[in-house]
Amino acid sequence: MATIELTEDNLAATIEGNETVFVDFWAAWCGPCRMFAPIFEAAAQEHPDVVFAKLDTEAQPQIAGALEIQAIPTLMAFRGGVLVYREAGAMNASGFGQLVEAVRALDVTDVRRQAALAADSGADAPGAS
C-alpha cells in the first residue's frame, strides 16, 4: 500500500479508523527525512495491512505544533487509535522493520484498556515513548 498524506481533514479519521498507523513527520529540506523516506515507503509496500502516513510539517504547521513536534523526522505509531511509540530521528531499515513488527504484535484490546486506565489516573499512556 502506498503512503498517504495527512492533513487536518484526515488526521483523526486515519488514526482512529485503522488498527495500526505509522506517521512520519518530515520536511523537504530535512536531510535525515529524505534518507528515511525510502525505508518508510518500502515498509508500506511490505505491510499492506498497516497504514503508513506522512505529515509535511511545513505544509501542516498547526498539526506539528499541536503534537509538539520539535525535531524531524519524528515517527509516531498508533495501535487501536492509541499512541504507542513516539521518537525523533531517522531509523535504519532493520530497526524500523523490528518496530513495525513489535507494534503489530501489540494486543489492541490490551492497549486500549491500558490507555483507559492511564487516562483515569491522569498518567501517560503505557507504551508511549
Q: Which CATH superfamily is domain 4-121 in?
A: Glutaredoxin (3.40.30.10)
What strand order describes the sheet that includes 74-79?
4-5, 51-56, 20-26, 74-79, 82-88
Short-list 67, 73, 82, CA closest to 30: 73
Catalytic-labelled residue, pool 15, 21, 23, 33: 33
What does the pLDDT read at residue 2? 81
Q: What local confidence, expressed as pLDDT, does residue 95 receive?
A: 96
Cell numbers describing residue 7: 492533513
Per the DSSP assignment, residues forming a β-bridge with 74 are 25, 88
Residue 46 annotated among the catalytic residues of the structure: no
- The C-alpha cell of 101 is what? 513488527
Q: Please tell me the distance from the alpha carbon of residue 119 to that of residue 16, in angstroms, as a whole number.
A: 17
Average pLDDT of the segment spanning 70-91? 95
Q: Which three cell numbers stand for residue 108?
A: 489492541
Q: How far, CA to CA in Å, does 125 sit from each of 45, 60, 101?
A: 29, 25, 20
Query: Taking 90 as the threshold, does the pLDDT of residue 23 lie above it?
Result: yes
| Catalytic hit among 15, 23, 30, 64 | 30
Confidence class for position 127, pLDDT limits 50, 70, 90: low
Q: How far apart are CA 19 and CA 66, in angstroms?
A: 23
Q: Convert the pLDDT of each residue in 36-74 to its tens digit.
A: 999 999 999 999 999 999 999 999 999 999 999 999 999
* Local structure of 20: helix, strand or coil: strand
φ, ψ (nearest 5 deg) of residue 113: -65, -45
**30 among known catalytic residues:** yes
- Report domain extents, the chain: 4-121
**Tens digits of residue pLDDT in 117-126:** 988 887 555 5
